[in-house]
Structure 1
Amino acid sequence: MTIEVKSPISVASVFLWIGFVSAISFMESWLKFQAPGITIPLGLGIGRLVFGVLNKIEWVLAIAIVIQMYVHKTALFNPKTLIFLLPLVILILQTFWLLPRLDARAEMHIQGIVPPASTLHYYYAGSEVVKVVCLLIYGIKLFKKTDYGKPN
């Protein structure tokens, strides 16, 4: 038995995407506040910069996957690729709803204004978990077992 990869760009993009999100959302986002001398406003300023760049990288990777689907004539709305749609929808929601609101809250903190309590960070963290799980499932589905070389 061998394993075939029909879409190597998609495989690389999926696992890079998982790596970026895992490193930044699950580690950097909270760990920077443990560093000596990092104040809340400074940490939030760093976070705004890092998450803004992460969002752009995620879009590049998502677009690379969609282009690879187009090249291989893979429908976006078929059972095999349906699991990829959820991370795409999450990315859209994060880009146009969550990140702007979180950015505004961070700016308030930086300006010395304490914003009212919010559950936005929980939504963001939960959506990151769902995104990574779906990407992992989709990435695994991109590998195909074949029986090349097996005698009939």
Structure 2
Amino acid sequence: MSKPLLATLFTSLLCSTLATAEPTYIEKMTGLPAICSIDAIEQQTKVWDVERKYGEGSKRWSEAFHHRLDVVRTCVNDAKGKGKALYKAEVDRLPSLKSELADMYVSWLEYLDHLIDDDRDAYRRLYERSASQLKAQIDSM
């Protein structure tokens, strides 16, 4: 095989393996709370730093605590708007799975709501279970 042809084949193979596929609905929905969770962890770390420095209940601790709530609440509200649009589009795309999509959406909303108060683990598990059930339904089609 000639070098130019081999180079062209190699380049096209390399580019095709590097090209990322469009994320699935479940991946998009899972990514939205992940971003808020990272924000919550980052802000909670700042609260702990202020707590060590000034003590829990101090004015600076209170400010850091309320700032954490505001940051996470803003992220959650933004995620809910994006998730609602994704949910509606997916229901339009797969109307036969409306019930499963609705179940997943409800658990997703509950998970997002509990990111604000830092009580997310149980709700994350419920969301992951409903996402797995939806994936199984989609895979069986």
TM-score (norm 1): 0.51
- Comparing both chains, which one has the higher relative contact order based on Cα–Cα distances under 8 Å and sequence gaps of 6 or more? 1
Distance 2:109 2:45 in 1: 31
Residue in 2 that maps onto 1:31: 42
Q: Which runs of at least 4 in structure 1 moved beyond 4 Å after TM superposition?
A: 91-95
Distance 2:78 2:70 in 1: 13
Q: Across the two proteins, how many residue pairs are aligned to each other?
A: 106
- Unaligned runs of 5+ residues in structure 2 are 1-20, 51-62
Amino acid at match of 1:64: A
Distance 2:71 2:24 in 1: 27
Distance 1:44 1:92 in 2: 17
- From the two aligned structures, give the one with the greater helix fraction: 2
SS state at 2:94 partner: helix
| Pair 1:19-2:44 in alignment | no
Map 1:1-152 → 2, pairs under 5 A: 12-25=24-37, 27-35=38-46, 39-70=64-95, 74-77=96-99, 82=100, 84-91=101-108, 122=119, 125-143=121-139
TM-score (norm 2): 0.54
For each residue in 1:67-111, what CA deviation from the matched residue of structure 2 results, as whole angstroms up to 9, or x when unmatched? 1113xxx2534xxxx3x332223356679xx58xx6xxxxxxxxx
1:14/1:61 contact within 8 Å kept = no
Report the Cα offset of residue 66 of structure 1.
Answer: 0.6
Distance 2:118 2:67 in 1: 18
Identical-residue share of aligned pairs (%): 8
- From the two aligned structures, give the one with the greater strand fraction: 1
For each residue in 1:107-143, what CA deviation from the matched residue of structure 2 results, as whole angstroms up to 9, or x when unmatched? xxxxxxxxxxxxx754x55333311332134235434
The structure with the largest alpha-carbon Rg is: 2
Amino acid at match of 1:90: S
- Unaligned runs of 5+ residues in structure 1 are 1-7, 103-119, 146-152
RMSD of Structure 2 on Structure 1 (CA)? 3.6
